[in-house]
Structure 1
Amino acid sequence: MLNAIKRWISGDQPGNDWGDVINWAQKQGFGFKRAKDEEGFVLDGSVGGRPWRLEWGPPQRSYIQGHELRLRMELQLPSTLQMLIMTRSLMEALERETFERYTESNQTLIDVSTPEEMRWLAMFPKVNYDIPKAVRSHYAGVAADPASAANWVDHEFGQQMASAAAGLLREQPPFVLMTLRGRVYMRMQLDAPAPDALQQAVALFQTAAAGAIRCASSVSDSQTGDWPTTASTAWQTDIMPEDTKR
């Protein structure tokens, strides 16, 4: 709000009209809305009749600098289907941060204000994905049920992960993909939301969503056991206009 007032007083116009993004979104059949304060935008799309949302703007996680790209989709997955994939460099950084935070403070319990992706690293076992070694070295993951998470990454999903490792995620920016509370979420650091980057991100996200649906078809709450359900922080703060919140 303060930035918008300053621009209004000075007569300055927003620095980016998102023309390339708008043109690309229209061609894809996606809805486009600007964020408040002109600091980002929202895209709405659907796949298989299921709506998804993309947001780009200021980061909601301390491990992301600059700008953040976020996607989410309601899939009505089993509540205990808790799976996480992230760039290996981010996992190593978060593990160090978590260790230092709790050893230096002598805490014995993980604070519930800590994001799920950090808590899960301490709570859940790691997953071995059936993907090429070169791709596997780029990613790491944990899950309440490692077998279900391993099934999540099928051939098609693995190919998308390989493509992202060679393109969108080549430099290993902070990147998280997770299933939580029946939804699939993705977030990553992305300073330049060019159409080709958004295209890669949406393709990876949609493939992950399809894989989660397939994975859930063979999983029930009773099968996955009584794994703890953590508090909601995966979409902690909406930066978008009131009419875009759900």
Structure 2
Amino acid sequence: MLQTLKRWIGGAKAAGTDARALQAWARERGHHVKRVPADDGVVVEGVMHGTSWRLEWGSPQRAYLLERELRLRMDLGLPQHVQMMVISRALAEELEQAAYALFTQDMQTRIDSGMPEEMRWLAMFPKLTLAGMKTVRSRFTAVASPAAPAAAWLAPEVIAQLDAAGRTWLADDEPMVLMTLRGRLYLRIESLQPDGAMLDGALALYEAAARSALAASEGAVGQTQWPTTQSTAWQSHLPSSFSPDSTDEHPR
């Protein structure tokens, strides 16, 4: 917990790593690749379900992630009131302990101004039952508001991909967050050096979650299409020491 608090208050430092494996993976699959020299990062763009998605690998945009962050985002035009999250259990417990410590240490200003959605949702939203595979129940935690669309979102296809992640490419203590926010779907993973198997697995999980989120939102309201949100993608609520770059040429 002490390590979490130090990261949360002081921020994380990114280490230089080799982006060639990620670039090769993206080009082999026909995706567009852009380098970010200032951050030694990479931006990959592709299309899924007729909608553009963006993968970014670079400096973390969340204080609970160290060194390097792999993040995926796509605007699905989901209802903005639907807030759903699956988070690795170890990270959920770490964030809950950190939030409790901040409260008990009378750091209300830091909590109000710097606490990200992930930490707030764990405190505010009810936990969902992850049905099915033991691997999934032991490795992940799910919260949502409202609960009904989230129960539909966690369809067998998504549960199967979470199980595959827990058994193959996602280490026991590796932080991961899959969430819907402001009409978009996000995936964040701490990854110092992503390889092909991890990237394939992350994209497969993301695609299953995107397809299921669309089906869940349509079923919840009886409509087949939603207007896309115009809010800024990848907006984060970070401590004041963080300064995310606002341009599309840099990971955000």
Q: State the TM-score, normalized to the length of structure 2.
A: 0.80
Q: Is the 8 A contact 1:82 1:144 kept in 2?
A: yes
Is contact 1:110-1:119 (8 Å) kept?
A: no
Q: In structure 2, how many angstroms separate the alpha carbons of the residues matched to 1:162 and 1:95?
A: 23
The Cα of 1:239 is off from its aligned counterpart by: 4.9
Shift of 1:131: 2.3
Q: Is 1:40 aligned to 2:2, yes or no? A: no
1:135 and 2:125 aligned:
no
**Unaligned regions of 5+ residues in structure 2, if any?**
1-15, 223-230, 237-242
What corresponds to 1:30 in structure 2? 31
Pair 1:241–1:144, CA change in 2 (3 A) = closer
State the alpha-carbon separation in 2 of the partners of residues 172 and 149 from structure 1.
25
Q: Give the superposition deviation at 1:61.
A: 1.2
Question: 1:233 Cα shift?
Answer: 9.1
Secondary structure of 2:112's counterpart equals coil
Q: How many residues align?
A: 223
The within-5 A match list for 1:217-232 is 217-220=218-221
Contact 1:25-1:43 at 8 Å conserved across structures: yes
| 3-state SS, counterpart of residue 101 of structure 2 | helix
Q: Could you list the runs of 5+ residues in structure 1 that have no partner in the other structure?
A: 1-13, 222-230
Separation in 1, partners of 2:17, 2:179: 33
For the 8 Å contact 2:56–2:70, the answer to whether it is kept is: yes
Larger mean Cα displacement after TM superposition, 100-109 or 72-81: 100-109
- C-alpha displacement at 1:141, in angstroms? 1.3
Alignment-derived partner of residue 8 in structure 1: none
- Residues 234, 136 of structure 1: alpha-carbon distance in 2 compared, 3 angstrom cutoff: farther
CA distance in 2, matches of 1:122, 1:28: 40
| 1:63-106 Cα deviation digits (max 9, x unpaired) | 11111101100000011110011000000010000011012207
- Cα 1:15–1:186 change in 2 (3 A) is closer
Question: What pairs with 1:143-222 in structure 2 (closer than 5 Å)?
Answer: 143-220=144-221
Question: 1:54: which partner in 2?
Answer: 55
Q: Find the aligned partners of 1:127 and 1:108 in 2 and give their Cα distance.
A: 30
After superposition, the C-alpha distances for 1:89-129 in whole angstroms (9 at most, x for unaligned) are 00001000001101220749951431001111111111112
One-letter amino acid of the structure 1 residue matched with residue 181 of structure 2: L
Question: Equivalent pairs: percent with the same residue?
Answer: 39
* In 1: Cα distance, 2:135 partner to 2:79 partner: 31
